[in-house]
Amino acid sequence: MQLFAFLIDGLLIGFVYGIAAMGMTLIWGVMNVINLAHGPIIALGCFGVYLLATQLGLHPYLALLIVAPLGLVAGMLFYRLAIQRVIDAPRLSSLLATFAINMIVIGLGTAAFSTNPRALDVQLGSLSFGPVTILGTRLVAALASIATAAGLYWFLYHTRPGKYVRAVTNNRAAAELVGIPSQQVLALSFGLGCMLAAVSGALIATFFPFTILSGDVYQQKSFVIGVMGGLGHPLGALLGGLILGMMEGLLPAFLPTTWVPVFEFVLFVIILLVRPAGLFGGKK
Partner 1 sequence: MNTRFAALFVWIFVISLLLPTCGTPAAVAPSQAKEVKAVIGFTASQTGKLNVESTRQTNGLNLWMKQVNEAGGVKLKDGSVVKFESKFYDDESNSARVQELYTRLVTEDNASFLISPYSSGLADAAAVIAEQYGKIMITTGAASDSTYKKGYTLVYQAYTPASKYLTGAIDLLKSTDPAVKKIAIVHENDKFSTDVSNALNDYAKAQGYEVALFEGYDTGTTDFAPFINKIQEVAPDAILGGGHFQDGSTFAKQLYEKKVALKFVALLVAPPEPTFAEIGEASLGIIGPSQWEPQVVFNADSAQKAGLSFYGPAAADFVSAYKASANGEEPSYHAAGGYIAGLILQKAIEEAGTLDTQAVKAVLDKMDVMTFFGHIRFEAGADSHGLQTGHSMVYIQWQNDDAGKLVKEVVWPAEGATSGIKYPIR
Q: Binding residues for partner 1, per CB under 8 A?
A: 2, 5-6, 9, 13, 110, 114-117, 119, 121, 126, 128, 131, 133, 135, 208-211, 214, 217, 248-249, 252-253, 256-258, 260
Least distance in Å: CB of 133 to partner 1? 5
Nearest to partner 1 of 205, 231 (CB atom): 205
Half-sphere exposure of 277 (CA within 13 A, CB side): 4
Least distance in Å: CB of 214 to partner 1? 8
Helix (H) or strand (E) holding 132: strand 132-135
State the Cα torsion 42-43-45-47 to the nearest 10°: 180
Asked if 222 and 17 touch (Cβ cutoff 8 Å), the reply is yes
CA–CA distances in Å: residue 108 to residues 24, 102, 104: 22, 10, 6
H helices of 114-233, in order, are 136-158, 160-170, 172-177, 182-205, 215-229
**What's the maximum distance between 2 C-alpha atoms anywhere in the chain?**
60
Nearest to partner 1 of 118, 275 (CB atom): 118
Least distance in Å: CB of 120 to partner 1? 12
Least distance in Å: CB of 119 to partner 1? 8
Nearest to partner 1 of 55, 116 (CB atom): 116
Nearest to partner 1 of 133, 183 (CB atom): 133
Least distance in Å: CB of 45 to partner 1? 15
- Helices 136-158, 182-205: inter-axial angle, 10-degree rounding: 170
Nearest to partner 1 of 77, 250 (CB atom): 250
